Structure 1
Amino acid sequence: MKKLSYYLLLMLAFSQAQAQKDFQGMAVYESKTQAPKFEGMRGNRDITPEMQKNMEERMKQMLEKTFILNFDKSASIYKEEEKLETPGQQGGGMRVMMNSFMGGGGTFYKDVKSKSYTVDKEFMGKEFLVVDSLPKLNWKLEQETKQIGGYTCYKATAVKPASKTDFRNFRPKNNDDKKTEDKKDEAKKTSGETKTNFEDNFEMPKEVAIIAWYTPEVPVNQGPENYWGLPGLILEVNDGRTTILCSKIVLNAKDKVEIKPSKKGKVISQKDYDDTVIKKMEEFREMNRGRAGGPPPMMGR
């Protein structure tokens, strides 16, 4: 009888270990970024109200995306959901690059055991494979809770450096900065210049405040994009302009997904990739200096 009990306990322990090994989940996230207003372009003779409206509408569409996160106990892949292009929609390599500039594009692989990530990027017709260490955020765990999709979620906050190559980090300038720019605009009008640049109204902050909501009911150290480090799956992230919200979770589906990093592209660190993007964008800005105002040069994550 004792032997039977021992074997039963052994089999139970083995089955639990196997279940943990085979554990896998899928989460769907809706990402929305507040579209910038092009009000500063109204003084530009080259930008008509209709053009301004079209620019804002197109920007809004590009800033609303759906992502799929497939995860197991130690790793995950995060990728934008593939959609059929509508007639007349910008496509090809340009669309891929634009997606990369605003949080999409490529497959983001996270390994929380090795604390590393891999993401494939396309920039200026070249493919890069960014491989680096996961950013370490000093999360502050709060007592506040709320329900997301039937899961009890807890609040956590952190502050992180703003990526200079993520277009979504642009913020409207504060009133003091705007007053200074308004004086410059008046000087331009006096001298006959009426063109206004998008960058006159927006700035890149040094850091951004993050609010996240995680659920211990899904005990994995994972989340959307490069977010991780909390005692449960992150279901919502907000940085003041971009909100990423989980709309669906499926655990232990019958069909498993292979969770592994991409292999395509030139291997490069995040810093070297950012430096490459910034250098090319500065060159682009110099080439177009003096032209009519428009959106700032788009940059990748």
Structure 2
Amino acid sequence: MKSSNFKSILFLFIILICLNINGQNFQGKAIYMQKSKMELGRWGARMSEAQKKQVAARLKSRLEKTYTLTFNMKESMFLEDDQIDAISGATDSWGGYFSRGDQYKNVKEEKLVQAQEFYGKRFLIKDNLHKIDWTMGTETKKIGNYTCYKAKAFVPNKELSWYSFSWSDLRKKEKKEDETEESQENMTVVEAWYTLQIPVAQGPAEFWGLPGLILEVSSGNTTLLCTEVVINPKEKIEIEAPEKGTKTNKDDYVAIVQKKMLEMRNNRMGRRRGR
């Protein structure tokens, strides 16, 4: 009897060791296509359809992108496949586009490390991951060979675009600072589809924290859709956080960018007045 119990305990112990080893070695790669709808705001009302098509063609590379997410049970790296030259840090003439840098997430420690280029200077943003309060539903659909479940969440706008910049956001901030009462923080509705067949709490961009890999996610005017998944590829994937750059956090980085853009605007307006 004692021998039988010992064998059972030993068998369970071996299984646990094997599961732990497999978990440590488990890794994968997922390719995502990003598509964003073009928003022209008040300028769009003044444009003809032909002009809108010209603008859409010019911005196609910024509205449609390809990203690669490499991941294991604990870490992930999210990289744009064909990055726009970010030496200037910005932007097209609309003043509303900044490219996301190399993004490392550690979901076990809930830590973010992201490298950003801004006007010739490299920054290393180290901060906590924003914890998303997902509401999981029962609705399902197939994405490729994977059965996916739907989840929804409300995420603060600033957590989805802190690395970016737009004059409209800055004007809203200035207006808010002038108000005596704090206005409610703007939120974005996020819809995600995740698969339990790949049981990692990883996902593209700022999204994570579901019990399976996120294969599709929509927020605002942007959708990220996984087009290919490779699990445990023959060539080992190395995931390492970026290390080079001036260390800061998300809030301080936003303040640095806003200050620089205001200086540029004021200098430009000063030159115009001097003419």
Answering whether residue 219 of structure 2 is matched by residue 239 of structure 1, we say: yes
- Paired residue for 2:242, among 259, 262, 265? 262
Q: Is the 8 A contact 2:86 2:99 kept in 1?
A: no
Deviation at 1:226, TM superposition (A): 1.6
Map of 1:182 onto structure 2: none
Q: Deviations over 1:226-270 (max 9, x none)?
A: 211111111111013000011111101111111110001001000
Answering whether residue 215 of structure 2 is matched by residue 215 of structure 1, we say: no
Q: 1:65-76 alignment to 2 at 5 Å?
A: 65-76=65-76
Of structures 1 and 2, the one scoring higher in RCO (CA 8 A, sep 6+) is 1
Q: Is the 8 A contact 1:168 1:242 kept in 2?
A: no
What TM-score, normalized to structure 1?
0.71
Q: Deviations over 1:133-178 (max 9, x none)?
A: 000121111111111111111111111111265359989xxxxxxx
- Paired residue for 1:133, among 119, 128, 140? 128
Map of 2:144 onto structure 1: 149
Map of 2:23 onto structure 1: 20
Map of 2:79 onto structure 1: 79
Q: Sort the Cα spacing of 1:103 and 1:56 in 2 relative to 1 into closer, same or farther, 3 A.
A: same
Q: Sort the Cα spacing of 1:238 and 1:42 in 2 relative to 1 into closer, same or farther, 3 A.
A: closer
Q: Sort the Cα spacing of 1:54 and 1:286 in 2 relative to 1 into closer, same or farther, 3 A.
A: farther
- Paired residue for 1:117, among 112, 119, 123? 112
Map of 1:280 onto structure 2: 260
Whole-angstrom distance in 2 between the partners of 1:115 and 1:136: 8
Deviation at 1:12, TM superposition (A): 4.4
Structure 2, unpaired ranges of 5+: 170-184
Structure 1, unpaired ranges of 5+: 84-89, 172-204, 292-301
**Number of residues paired by the alignment?**
248
Other structure's SS at 2:209 match: coil
- Paired residue for 2:228, among 248, 251, 266? 248
Map of 1:206 onto structure 2: 186
Q: Is the 8 A contact 1:168 1:241 kept in 2?
A: no
Code of the aligned partner of 2:187: E
Whole-angstrom distance in 2 between the partners of 1:229 and 1:245: 17
Whole-angstrom distance in 1 between the partners of 2:121 and 2:7: 62
- Paired residue for 2:33, among 24, 30, 33? 30
Other structure's SS at 1:36 match: coil
Deviation at 1:105, TM superposition (A): 4.3
Whole-angstrom distance in 2 between the partners of 1:38 and 1:82: 27
Map of 2:61 onto structure 1: 61
What do you get for the CA RMSD once the two structures are aligned?
3.4
What TM-score, normalized to structure 2?
0.77
Q: Sort the Cα spacing of 1:50 and 1:283 in 2 relative to 1 into closer, same or farther, 3 A.
A: farther
Q: Sort the Cα spacing of 1:169 and 1:20 in 2 relative to 1 into closer, same or farther, 3 A.
A: farther
Deviation at 1:81, TM superposition (A): 1.1
Whole-angstrom distance in 2 between the partners of 1:49 and 1:39: 15
